Amino acid sequence: MFISFEGTEGVGKTTLIRSIYEDFIAQGKDVILTREPGGTPMAEQIRSLLLAVNHEEAMAHDTELLLMYAARAQHLAQVILPALEAGKIVLCDRFSDSLYSLFLDVNKDRVLKHTVF
């Protein structure tokens, strides 16, 4: 089972997902808690790059989008898909909906074309 939690900053999704994670653990469920962008050491490095502020060079929208996809591909391959194949519950702090909302105003066709994971 894969459950993603979506929402803007400060609405409480991280608090909620942690509470649900703890409830599943208390029930003896096999569950993992992860986030996007991030979730693996490499994807966390990409996250840091995405969140870094560089006043000398603004990140192009395509660069940002491709970095998000790179983090997603790594996250899927290393964490999400293996966990699902093992029958685990995966709770993810953000996933596709956040990517859509961040980039649809930039290039809807490109986002939708490449977000078929």
In terms of pLDDT, which residue wins out, 98 or 89? 89
Q: For 2-114, which CATH superfamily applies?
A: P-loop containing nucleotide triphosphate hydrolases (3.40.50.300)
- Percent helix, strand, coil in the chain (nearest 5)? 60, 10, 30
Q: Looking at the chain, how many residues does it have?
A: 117
Measured CA distances, 42 to 26, 46, 83 (Å): 30, 6, 18
Whether this model's pTM surpasses 0.75: yes
Provide the mean pLDDT of the chain. Answer: 85
Give the domain ranges of the chain: 2-114
Tokens for 89, please give them. Answer: 């519950």
Give 29-84 pLDDT, tens digit per residue: 999 999 998 999 999 999 999 888 777 888 887 888 889 889 999 999 999 999 99
Q: Give residue 66's pLDDT.
A: 86
